[in-house]
Amino acid sequence: MIRKIGEDIFWVGKVDWELRLFHGSEYSTHRGTTYNSYLVKDEKTVLIDTVWDSYGREFVENLKKVIDIEKIDYVVSNHAEVDHSGALEELMRFIPQAPIYCTANGVKSLKGHFHKGWNFNPVSTGTRLNLGKRELIFFEAPMLHWPDSMFCYLTGEKILFSNDAFGHHYASELLYNDLVNQGELFQECLKYYANILTPFSPLVEKKISELASMNLPLEMICPSHGVIWRKNPLQIVGKYLEWAREYKENQITVVYDTMWKGTKKMAEAIVEGLKAEDEEVEVKIFKLSGSDKNDVITEVFKSKAILVGSPTINKGILSSVAAFLEMVKGLRFRGKKAASFGTYGWSGESIKMIKDALKDSGFEILNEGLKVNWNPDKEALQMCFNFGKDIASQTKIFKT
C-alpha cells in the first residue's frame, strides 16, 4: 500500500498486524506494529528508511507502484537496526551504486549487518542534502535508539523524520495520530518509552532542547513505527519531556511470584496495609509468572515505589523475579523507591538479594525488607499489613 502524505511525499512502509513479539521475545506487541518508510520526490528522489527484511520483497514490489526503483537517487538510513534497514538488501540489488546517507556509526552497523560494499556517505548534525526545491537536514541522535540513530528534517513541508523516537508499536491503517483511538495510542507510546527509552532519558531531554533551540518550524513528525504526528505534533515531544524527567504517578506496584501461595498472601496483606494508610494511592499487583513482562515494566515506570517479592529457593530467588530484576537493572529507572518481601523455609536469602539488586539498579531502598518463615500465620499477616502501612506513609503525597 502507498499513502500520499504531502505533495510528492509518500508513506511506503508496512503495517504488520501479525507481530506479537519484537526484539526476539523481549517486547510484546499486543497491537502489532508498523515499519514506516517514506519516499520524497523532488528534482532528486530520496527514500528514507526501509522495513524489516521479512517484508523486503513485498516492500520493493510496493515501491514500484510509485516509482521506477532505478530512479531513486538517494537512500537515507536513519537507524541500522534491521526493522528499518532489513529491506536494504533487496532494494540495493536494483540500485547498487545509490548513495546511502547515515551516521558514521550507521556505516559500521550496516556493514556489520549486511557485509556489503555499498556507497556509504556518512553525515553528521547539520549536514544538508539538496533535493532540488527542498533540502534534508540531518541530526545525529545517538541512543535514540542506538549509537547510530539520527533524525532528518525536510524543509518545505517541515517534516521531522525521527525514526524510533516518538514511535510506538501500533498497527493502524489510519496513518495519522488524530484519527486513531487516543487511549490506545498513548498507552503504546508510554509502553514504548518505558521499555525502550527509559535508560536514555537524559539524552532524550538533551536532544529535544537541542532541536528546540534551532527553532525549526514543524508541521509533522514522521516516526518509523506507528502513526504520523500530524495534529499538534509537539504533543508527543511534550510527553517525552515529561517522561524523561523521573516520571512517576501516585502509584505503588507490587510484583511477586510464589510457590505455595505464602508470598502471595504476604503481597495481599501488604496491599491492605498500603490502602489502609493511603486511600488515594493507586496500587497494582502483578504475579510475575503469567504476566506480560513489558506491561509490568510500564507499570513500574508509572510508579513512585515498587515492592518486589519472592520466596527463597535454592538459596536464591524465583527465576521469574530474577528475570524481572534483570530488566529493571538495564532500564536504569531514576527517582523511584523500593522494598522487598518473601517467605522462606530454611535459609531466607531472597529478601536481601532482591533488596541489593534494587539498590544496585538505582532505587532508593525504603527498609530492610520483610521475610516470613513458612506459611504466614495471623501474626505474620499483621506484620505484612504494618509493612504496607509504613511504606504508604513513607511515600505518601501530601496535597497542599
Show which residues are catalytic. 23, 79, 81, 83, 145, 164, 192, 225
Please identify which residue in 49, 53, 73, 81 interacts with ligand FEO, judged by CB under 6 A: 81
Q: Helix, strand or coil for residue 279?
A: coil
Number of other residues whose CB lies within 10 A of the CB of residue 130: 12
164 near ligand FEO (CB under 6 A)? yes
Q: Is 36 in the site for ligand FEO (CB under 6 A)?
A: no
* Of residues 389, 374, 373, the one with CA closest to residue 307: 389
Per CB under 6 A, 145 contacts ligand FEO: yes
- At 257, list the grid cell: 511470584
For the bound state, the minimum distance from the C-beta of residue 89 to ligand FEO, rounded and expressed in Å, comes to 17
Min CB(80)–ligand FEO separation in Å: 9
Smallest distance from ligand FEO to CB 22, Å: 8
Query: Does the protein bind ligand FEO through residue 224 (CB under 6 A)?
Result: yes
| Beta carbon of residue 82, minimum distance to ligand FEO (angstroms, whole number) | 8
Nearer to ligand FEO, 54 or 367 (CB): 54
| DSSP, res 375 | S
140 in contact with ligand FEO (CB under 6 A): no
Residue 201 and residue 334 in contact, taking contact as beta carbons nearer than 8 Å: yes
- The CB-of-94 to ligand FEO minimum distance in angstroms stands at 24
Residue 172 vs 263, nearer CB to ligand FEO? 172
Backbone angles phi, psi at 181, to 5 degrees: -65, 120
Nearer to ligand FEO, 103 or 312 (CB): 103
Q: Is residue 278 involved in binding ligand FEO (CB under 6 A)?
A: no
Looking at beta carbons only, is 23 or 315 nearer to ligand FEO?
Answer: 23
Residue written as cell 549536514? 127
Backbone angles phi, psi at 381, to 5 degrees: -65, -35
Nearer to ligand FEO, 79 or 134 (CB): 79
Binding flag, residue 207, ligand FEO (CB under 6 A): no
Question: What single letter denotes the amino acid at residue 223?
Answer: P
Sort residue 332 into left (φ over 0), alpha (ψ -120 to 50) or beta.
left
**Least separation, in Å, of the C-beta of 96 and ligand FEO?**
25
Residue spans of beta strands (DSSP E) within 214-365? 220-223, 251-256, 282-287, 305-309, 337-344, 364-365
Residue that is written with C-alpha cell 538459596 in the block: 315
Identify whether the C-beta of residue 48 lies closer than 8 Å to the C-beta of residue 37: yes
**73 vs 83, beta carbon nearer ligand FEO:** 83
- The three cell numbers of residue 38 are 517514506
Nearer to ligand FEO, 79 or 293 (CB): 79
Contact 245, 229 (CB under 8 A): no
Q: How does DSSP assign 144-158, residue by residue?
A: SSSTT-EEEEETTTT
User: Residue 277 interacts with ligand FEO (CB under 6 A)?
Assistant: no
Radius of gyration of the chain (CA): 24
Please provide residue 190's backbone torsions phi and psi, each rounded to the nearest 5 degrees.
-65, -45
User: Which residue in 14, 168, 191, 225 binds ligand FEO (CB under 6 A)?
Assistant: 225
79 binds ligand FEO (CB under 6 A): yes
Beta bridge partners of 340: 308
Q: Which stretch binds ligand FEO (CB under 6 A): 78-86, 199-207, 317-325, 351-359?
A: 78-86
Residues that bind ligand FEO (CB under 6 A): 79, 81, 83-84, 145-146, 164, 224-225
